[in-house]
Copies of this chain bind each other. A is one copy, B any other.
Amino acid sequence: MSRIRIGIVGYGNLGKSVELGCYQNKDMEIVGVFSRRDPKTIKTRKEGVPVYHLDEVKNMVDDIDVMILCGGSAKDIPTQGPMLAAMFNTVDAFDTHAKIPEYFDQMDKVAKESGKVAVVASGWDPGMFSINRLYAEAILPEGSTYTFWGKGVSQGHSDAIRRVDGVKKAVQYTIPIEDAIKAIKSGENPELSTREKHLRECYVVAHEGASKEQIEKDIVTMPNYFADYDTTVHFISEEEFDANHQGLPHGGLVIRNGKTGLNNEHNQIIEYNLKLESNPDFTASVLLAYARAAYKMNKEGIKGAKTVVDIAPVYLSMRTAEEIRREMI
């Protein structure tokens, strides 16, 4: 059986995790890693993975079935997406929620012209959480859906802290408020403010001589990032930071509390819950399942942009439809 030939575009945390994920998917092989950096400076997690400059993709149109875009949503994907969808099936984890419709339309146009499939905004949120919000609402029209994130590292918030004067190293954990979740699970449909859903907990290594009081104040009052939350700041030593705060755990849950019955007398609770020791590994795993979907759909003649809700679950699986009906339904 010929394997699905994967290209990895971008080699940060996510690109590295996609490489590792490929080794677990026996129907896939890595053709190469593509980067804007000098290929000689890139060392892949396992030896023997070819590394190319991104400019070379145009010479490899016949060698790659699906390109997985592992760059950032702010700058990389908006330009790399359309450029690559003109040549390849693509999968990305574009996660700027407000810009998804516009990006989708752009990718749809390019992919329809090239005859390829472009899976956009995949991963877990957007991605698996989006699917679960949709299924839960469609099944239980009367009710409320809540999304909680964490406990986990928010890379955007950690970056924001690192830009504060006097901060040497920092990490921020987003923590869902258990009492809110408990209320929902007991059948209540509370209206929750931002502050009532999540806490923000920061671990900071300060530069020598920096004012911890000032750092703390700068963090907790930071608009958009922290001002609307109850935020705690812990100052720790660099040793402790390096020993205990290097991982990228994350997770969260989508929960819908719906009502059914003649007088809405029955509580019906649907919960989808992720506990992830590695956020980039999990995101990569989702992207790879959707790479398989893009490949299979394109083989059937399907083209254009798709989000996760447009793709039937069967396309993600290594198994045949018959096998699924026999063993998994």
Contacts and interface: CB of A to CB of B under 8 A. Distances in A.
Interface in A305-323: 307-314, 316-318, 321-322
Interface stretch (A194-202, A222-230, A265-273): A265-273
B313 A134 contact: yes
A100 B134 CA distance: 26
A138 interface: yes
A74 interface: no
A270 B275 CA distance: 7
Contact of A133 (B134, B308, B328): B328
Contact of A21 (B260, B272, B278, B316): B260
A75 interface: no
A17 B328 CA distance: 26
Given A266-B278, A285-B140, A307-B325, A260 B24 contact: yes
A178 B44 CA distance: 42
Nearest to A137: B317
A285 B277 CA distance: 34
Interface in A108-144: 121, 126, 128, 130-131, 133-135, 137-142
Contact of A139 (B26, B260, B286, B324): B286
A25 B272 contact: no
A209 interface: no
Q: Which of A131, A284, A312 counts the most B-chain CB atoms under 10 A from its CB?
A: A312
Contact of A100 (B25, B139, B325): B325
A277 to B, nearest CB: 4
A274 to B, nearest CB: 6
Nearest to A127: B329
Contacts of A137: 317, 328
Contact of A325 (B101, B138, B140): B101
A261 interface: yes
Contacts of A100: 325-326, 329
B310 A285 contact: no
A328 B134 contact: yes
A289 interface: yes
A321 B310 contact: yes
A328 B130 contact: yes
Contacts of A317: 134, 137-138, 309
A271 B269 CA distance: 13
Interface string A8-35: 0000000001001100111000000000
A281 interface: yes
Q: Which of A133, A309, A316 counts the most B-chain CB atoms under 10 A from its CB?
A: A309
Interface string A148-179: 00000000000000000000000000000000
A270 B274 contact: yes
A319 B3 CA distance: 37
B273 A271 contact: yes
A139 B268 contact: no
B322 A292 contact: no
A285 B321 CA distance: 25
A141 to B, nearest CB: 5
